[in-house]
Amino acid sequence: MRPTLLNPLFAPITSLPGIGPRLAPLYQRLTGDKIADLIWHRPSGIVDRRFCPDIAQAPAGRVATLVVRIDGHLPSGSSKKPYRVRCSDDSGSMHLVFFHGREDWLRRQLPEGEWRVVSGIVEHFNGDIQITHPDHIVALAEKETIMRVEPVYPLTAGLTAKMVAKTVRAALERVPDLPEWQDPAWKQRQNWPDWKSALLALHQPNSEAAVADGGEIRRRLAYDELLANQLALAMVRAHMRKIKGRSLVASGRLRDRVLAALPYRLTGAQNRSLAEIDTDLAAPFRMLRLLQGDVGSGKTIVALFAMLTAIEAGTQAALLAPTEILARQHFATIAPLAESAGIRVALLSGRDKGKPREALLTALASGEIDLLIGTHALIQNDVIFRDLALAVIDEQHRFGVQQRLDLAAKGNGTDVLVMTATPIPRTLLLTAYGDMDASRLDEKPPGRQPIDTRILPSSRIEEIVSGLSRALQRQTRIYWVCPLVEESETSDLAAAEERHRHLSAIFGHRVGLVHGRMKSADKDKVMAAFAAGDLDILVATTVIEVGVDVPDATIMVIEHAERFGLAQLHQLRGRVGRGQKASSCLLLYDPPLSETAKARLEIMRATEDGFRIAEEDLRLRGGGEILGTRQSGLPELVVADLALHGDLLAVARDDSRLILDRDPELSSARGQALRTLLYLFQRDAAIRTLRSG
């Protein structure tokens, strides 16, 4: 149960004054639907209203708070001209300027002959000092209420700065005093305030430093979040260590047969990763290991060798892929090698129906099938294994944790190996996958050619198209990827169809088209025709991004490359350069390029190292977007920023290990405070893990 003292923070934002049915959806879009979401809505800057000069000394372009006497109203008489109010003090005079000002309202706010305090940006215009639309107008007695530093919050359409600031202030009034979860010596060394003081200082800043990304206030709150993240992952990991697995050991007989059938030798990175996996498989607890490898680094072979160990030990293995194209490709790679080892492999997808499917499921349940490859169809209730011991999950970030658990639950003490072709920066690996051990394939198989990457403006498309004619005479195949249009799949599709029409008019029926709206079977048919050489050019949206393997494809053209993320560009480029021939990738862009887009394209030109590209992507975009956090069910960081606070992550990891070594049940006074921290950052699933033993 969540500690009752946190209940005020998890109340809906509609419980705050003034947040009714009209405003609630706007706040939900901006921050979230709970009061806790509002307290993490950080100011992006400040406005300092403490500068209070005389009128004559008020400099242009600066925010100033002035005490003025209202001398007279000067209505414009025309909607095109502003309404002006003349004011003065002992040093001189000035005007307050209002466009579309309502006279009755302005006369009530600024009565002639009375003194008022006004605050806003000072302007010097035609020798006159003025403030256009002052931010504040108050009576003299209320001067102190505006002579302060104001936080400036990010906004959304329909909400003003004043409204958001007022709502956040109301949320802060609900913030309880919480027990301290930080290690006292560490907190003192960092010179950090307690949690509530830090939160209030962030929202009630007295200087730019209070809201600065690298400032002590932000670092204290970022560390709290990273500690919650690392502690939750460490608890899940410790829980995994307790679950009894089984020891899978083999002589390597099956592996030797497959090795003999391979036309190449394994890389050092493949051998190193296999040694790590073998150690896990032989141990008496369950394996949960992440195998991350760059495009074309040979993950499938490593996974196959791991599965051969399970099969040789007398059990079954399964490989789960996110799409039918990928599942079929894995099957095409693995089946001939499995045959050389004398093991039985089958493929199961959502397309399999009726008697053939029943026969396959019967063979699986009786143990006649050693290795089953498939899509989400593997997770269905009627898919029963005789003895599943190893589950391999490809493109981990396309699946939720639940699907991983569902597949593992089909066996007894099932070992799990998850694979990703998205290279993950180290800091992100710790926050997103800290519950897993990780192996890294950072070498390409021998014989792979470097890819010549060029950046060209879209105005050169016709020149590129005529170059393709020459390339096709060399028996090559070409991918042409159309722009990603996030707002609408329809416009995405329209761009691809238009390019397909254009290229078909030049190259005839040898041009194919695949996109996300096609039925699986139709998509597979086009892909198969391209792989077989029946099509020369494949126009596609980003459905070809992951795992498609056509060694004869040597040219990749990406339109509007500036609209893609770095990781995605890297994945797309990885579709070529998979054979022995030299390959090239053309990144077409529409000028002018933003600084970030320019940096992205330059990195693509400079390196093919996916791990370096991933680090740059993290720096340019932030962690959530790289892995598609929202889609993958990974927790988003609300205060910490991995690009800024990476140094704190390592400390949080060490601290969480130490905490669990000393107090595995979190039952001490600090342990109880840490439970509150986990609930505060909604990592309470870890506490349920602890409770379920």
What is the model's pLDDT at position 621?
65
Residue 164 above 60 pLDDT? yes
Indicate the average pLDDT of the chain: 88
By C-alpha distance, which of 24, 7, 411, 49 is closest to 174?
7
Q: What is the pLDDT of residues 417-469, one digit of tens each?
A: 999 877 777 777 777 777 788 898 988 777 677 899 999 999 999 999 999 98
pTM metric for this prediction = 0.70
Whether residue 456 contacts residue 464, with contact meaning beta carbons closer than 8 Å, is answered with yes
Asked, for residue 168, whether it belongs to a domain, the answer is no
Q: State the first-to-last Cα distance of the chain, in angstroms, to the nearest integer.
A: 16
Question: Can you give the CATH number for the domain in which 142 is found?
Answer: 2.40.50.140
Asked, for residue 28, whether it belongs to a domain, the answer is no
Asked, for residue 160, whether it belongs to a domain, the answer is no
What is the model's pLDDT at position 388?
97
Q: Which two tokens stand for residue 410?
A: 């089909």
What is the model's pLDDT at position 493?
63
Mean pLDDT of 514-522: 81
Residue 412 or residue 236, greater confidence: 412
Q: What is the pLDDT of residues 623-662, one digit of tens each?
A: 544 444 443 444 578 898 887 888 898 899 999 999 999 9
Q: Are residues 322 and 379 in the same domain?
A: yes
Q: Give the SS3 label for residue 136.
A: strand
Q: Which two tokens stand for residue 208?
A: 């730019």
| Among candidate residues 147, 167, 201, the one where a domain is terminated | 147
Asked, for residue 486, whether it belongs to a domain, the answer is yes
Asked, for residue 195, whether it belongs to a domain, the answer is yes
**Which stretch of DSSP H or E encloses residue 166?**
helix 161-172
Q: Are residues 482 and 577 in the same domain?
A: yes
Question: Can you give the CATH number for the domain in which 465 is found?
Answer: 3.40.50.300
Asked, for residue 408, whether it belongs to a domain, the answer is yes
Of the listed ranges 150-164, 326-340, 406-420, 538-552, the least confidently predicted one is 538-552
By C-alpha distance, which of 477, 468, 471, 464 is closest to 536?
477
Q: What is the pLDDT of residues 193-211, one digit of tens each?
A: 999 999 999 999 988 888 8
Asked, for residue 109, whether it belongs to a domain, the answer is yes
Q: If pLDDT is split at 50, 70 and 90, which confidence band does 276 have?
A: very high
Mean pLDDT of 525-531: 87
Structurally, the chain folds into a number of domains equal to 4
Report how far apart, in Å, the C-alpha atoms of 634 and of each of 186, 235, 546, 624 are: 28, 16, 20, 8
Q: What is the pLDDT of residues 282-319, one digit of tens each?
A: 999 889 899 998 777 889 999 999 999 999 999 999 99
Residue 630 or residue 383, greater confidence: 383
Q: Are residues 257 and 347 in the same domain?
A: yes
Residue 240 above 80 pLDDT? no
Going by DSSP bridges, is the β-strand pair 388-393/316-320 parallel, antiparallel, or unpaired? parallel
| Among candidate residues 413, 441, 469, the one where a domain is terminated | 441
What is the model's pLDDT at position 685?
66
Asked, for residue 344, whether it belongs to a domain, the answer is yes
Q: What is the pLDDT of residues 14-71, one digit of tens each?
A: 999 989 999 999 999 999 999 999 999 999 889 999 999 999 999 999 999 999 999 9
Whether residue 148 contacts residue 205, with contact meaning beta carbons closer than 8 Å, is answered with no
Q: Are residues 67 and 188 in the same domain?
A: no
Q: Are residues 490 and 542 in the same domain?
A: yes
Residue 525 lies in domain? 451-627
Of the listed ranges 78-82, 183-187, 618-622, the least confidently predicted one is 618-622
Residue 343 above 60 pLDDT? yes
| Among candidate residues 586, 609, 627, the one where a domain is terminated | 627
Phi, psi of 534 (to 5 degrees): -75, -20
**Which stretch of DSSP H or E encloses residue 124?**
strand 115-125
What is the model's pLDDT at position 626?
44
Q: Are residues 221 and 267 in the same domain?
A: no
Q: What is the pLDDT of residues 209-219, one digit of tens each?
A: 888 877 889 99
Q: Are residues 63 and 92 in the same domain?
A: yes
What is the model's pLDDT at position 487?
42
Q: Are residues 273 and 194 in the same domain?
A: no
Cβ neighbours for 490, distance < 8 A, ≥ 6 positions apart? none
Q: Tell me, what amino acid is at 11? A: A
Whether residue 371 contacts residue 341, with contact meaning beta carbons closer than 8 Å, is answered with no
Q: Are residues 488 and 580 in the same domain?
A: yes
Of the listed ranges 100-114, 300-314, 600-614, the least confidently predicted one is 600-614
Q: Report the greatest alpha carbon distance in the chain.
A: 100
Q: Are residues 497 and 574 in the same domain?
A: yes
Q: Are residues 391 and 411 in the same domain?
A: yes
Q: Are residues 141 and 199 in the same domain?
A: no
